[in-house]
Structure 1
Amino acid sequence: MAKKGILLVNLGTPDSPSTADVRKYLDEFLMDERVIDINSFNRTLLVKGIIVPFRGPKSAKLYKEIWTPQGSPLLIYGNSVRDVLAKKLGADYQVELAMRYQSPSLPDALERLKQSKVDSIKVVPLFPQYASASTGSVHQLVMEIVSKWQAIPAISFVNSFYDHPGMIKVFADNARKHLHQSWDHILFSFHGVPQRQMKKADVSGQHCLKVENCCDNITENNKFCYSAQCHQTAKLLAKELDLKPEDYSLCYQSRLGSDPWMQPYTSDVLKQLAQKGVKRLLVLCPAFVADCLETLYEISVEYQTEFEHLGGEKVQLVESLNDNPAWIAVLEDIVLNK
């Protein structure tokens, strides 16, 4: 039987928390035309002239806070998931892990599959919700690379899995580990995306930010909308956890720059909740399948400090899917059936 190639792809991580390696990572990441979707001249000035030189040393300090003796948490979990999934799938499959930015590189992973003479390749970007800057960027680079191959095997792409029942259950089960404690409110904090990118994804040009509550339900006009998929993930999690609408909020973190991003911003929600007397928050980050800088530091440290200054007491991060065996079983189902 011909061997099938499975390519798992996450966003990326610096090779080390040194300033040089962090700058290298930020440069590759932010120079992606799908991440900062402005003209190339202005993007180059912004990234290479302002963001990387000034943000690099600051980001390096943050990466040092989450780095482990074994390396980057994102890469550690990724390697673990790859190895266990490969064992579950068996000898008829070859599973590779790649990062869209930095190492292990996507071109190298594809080359390994090519040299192994796989009969087909299924690309699985490890982002539950589709966004042009994440899943779209992975799809584009894969197509650019294989378009140069003389012999191109059958290739398929997983677009999203934001509503996969198994994934929802793993996130909810992780949250349940904390429910023996008392929480005033639950936050579903997703990674932010500029509003302009959401508008570009609206092929109709008549839905995004033009229809009231445009993200509340999945329709033909917003089925590829990152924000609409985030809303659906939050609804499914709330249902699984038996939450009432007043028990939880959806928000977006990690905003960059002054342009409007999808709202409400996590910082604004923290302020509003503190003003209402909320003291203890349980936070899930269902856009991340593995804990990383945005969860381990941004939520657990930055938002904890911010919330305390606002009068709150506790911001408790719910661990991500990481290398949970139940999550790897979900990935197996995605590989075999999606």
Structure 2
Amino acid sequence: MGKKGILLVNLGTPDSPSTADVRKYLGQFLMDERVIDINAVGRTLLVKGIIVPFRGPKSAKIYKEIWTKEGSPLLIYGHKVRDEIEKKLGNDYQVELAMRYQSPSIEDAIERLKQDKVDSIKVVPLFPQYASASTGSVHQLVMEIVSKWQAIPPINFVSSYYDHPGMIKVFADNARKYLDQKWDHILFSFHGIPQRQMRKADVSGQHCLKVNDCCATLTENNKFCYSAQCHHTAQLIAKDLALTPQDYTLCFQSRLGNDPWMKPYTSDILKELADKGVKRILVLCPAFVADCLETLYEISEEYQEEFEELGGEKVQLVESLNDNPAWIDALEDIILNK
């Protein structure tokens, strides 16, 4: 019999930090109907007429700040994780890495699995919490691709693993290495999404942003809500670190545009903390399994500068899971048992 195919998928990265490649990446990313979920004409005018032309050069400069001799950190860690997880799984498995946007593409990776005649395919998006704009987009594209195949093998999709004990422990252990230093407060900063996307995910239409603290506790009504899953992840890490609710704040970064996004915004929390005299902050980003632009630059550079201007002193990023051997162990369990 053939091997079992595993498709690991992360969000994506430009092929290089050049303005042309960054514009190409942003165009593909932001034209996804699940990312900017407005009508096609409006999305095209917004993305191709405004965002890509003006944001491209600025984003290219930022990518150059985090780019290494080996390339994009997100892609480097992706290849390392792919190699290590295939080694752990053994000869019965074939593991492919793909990016939802740009290279290596999902189309190419899944075609390799097809040509190598795998018996089944398991799709594992590298996003711990489910969101339509990330995991949902990966699932949709995979289904669109295989829908054109004459013979479709058994396919299984991992939706989320926001509460996986092994993953939680790696985030907590990474943070624990910094706890011998004095920190005035701890932030759990997650990638944000528009509020309208949260409302769309509420099939009841009666819970999201209509119930007080609607995301604070995971329930039957919000079990597929990105924000509720983020809260649960943070609560589990905080429990492992023996933090009290007064010790930390959950917030959301990477806002785009003027529409309301998930709150509180990380930038607003930084100001509130600075106004209270907080000087030193430790930041975890448990929506990212690998360090990337949003952690290495947005947290370590932009928020550090912003916090200093507000009177603060230090914003310390806790490294992500990256290629930590304990994360490889956790990912193996997710692949085998989710």
Matched length = 338
| CA distance in 2: counterparts of 1:218 and 1:265, whole angstroms | 21
| CA distance in 2: counterparts of 1:330 and 1:149, whole angstroms | 32
| CA distance in 2: counterparts of 1:78 and 1:156, whole angstroms | 21
Q: How does 1:183-202 map to 2 (within 5 A)?
A: 183-202=183-202
Identity fraction in percent: 84
Q: How does 1:1-338 map to 2 (within 5 A)?
A: 1-338=1-338
Task: Write the letter of the residue equivalent to 2:87.
Answer: K
**For 2:282, what is the secondary structure of its paired residue?**
strand
Task: Write the letter of the residue equivalent to 2:134.
Answer: S
Deviations 1:303-324 (A, max 9, x none): 0000000000000000000000
How far 1:217 moved relative to its partner? 1.2
| CA distance in 1: counterparts of 2:274 and 2:241, whole angstroms | 23
TM superposition score normalised by structure 2: 1.00
| CA distance in 2: counterparts of 1:136 and 1:220, whole angstroms | 19
| CA distance in 1: counterparts of 2:31 and 2:131, whole angstroms | 17
> Where does structure 1 differ by over 2 angstroms across 4 or more consecutive aligned residues?
none
Task: Write the letter of the residue equivalent to 2:221.
Answer: N
TM superposition score normalised by structure 1: 1.00
**For 2:250, what is the secondary structure of its paired residue?**
strand
| CA distance in 2: counterparts of 1:317 and 1:218, whole angstroms | 27
**For 1:264, what is the secondary structure of its paired residue?**
coil
Deviations 1:280-328 (A, max 9, x none): 0000000000000000000000000000000000000000000001001
| CA distance in 1: counterparts of 2:151 and 2:127, whole angstroms | 29
Task: Write the letter of the residue equivalent to 2:111.
Answer: E
| CA distance in 2: counterparts of 1:136 and 1:187, whole angstroms | 27
Deviations 1:233-281 (A, max 9, x none): 0100110000011000000000000000000000000000001110000
Task: Write the letter of the residue equivalent to 2:164.
Answer: H
| CA distance in 1: counterparts of 2:150 and 2:221, whole angstroms | 37
| CA distance in 1: counterparts of 2:2 and 2:10, whole angstroms | 26
| CA distance in 2: counterparts of 1:193 and 1:287, whole angstroms | 12
How far 1:216 moved relative to its partner? 1.1
Superposition RMSD in Å? 0.4
| CA distance in 2: counterparts of 1:250 and 1:87, whole angstroms | 36
Deviations 1:44-100 (A, max 9, x none): 000000000000000000000000000000000000000010010011000000000
| CA distance in 2: counterparts of 1:159 and 1:214, whole angstroms | 21
Task: Write the letter of the residue equivalent to 1:54.
Answer: F
Task: Write the letter of the residue equivalent to 1:15.
Answer: D
How far 1:180 moved relative to its partner? 1.2
| CA distance in 2: counterparts of 1:167 and 1:277, whole angstroms | 33
| CA distance in 2: counterparts of 1:138 and 1:157, whole angstroms | 10
How far 1:219 moved relative to its partner? 1.4
Structure 1 residue runs without a partner (length 5+): none
| CA distance in 1: counterparts of 2:135 and 2:75, whole angstroms | 18
| CA distance in 2: counterparts of 1:220 and 1:151, whole angstroms | 36
How far 1:2 moved relative to its partner? 2.8
Deviations 1:198-257 (A, max 9, x none): 000000000000011100111121111000000000100110000011000000000000
How far 1:113 moved relative to its partner? 0.2
Task: Write the letter of the residue equivalent to 1:53.
Answer: P
Structure 2 residue runs without a partner (length 5+): none
| CA distance in 2: counterparts of 1:158 and 1:240, whole angstroms | 25
Task: Write the letter of the residue equivalent to 1:252.
Answer: F
How far 1:331 moved relative to its partner? 0.6
**For 2:94, what is the secondary structure of its paired residue?**
strand
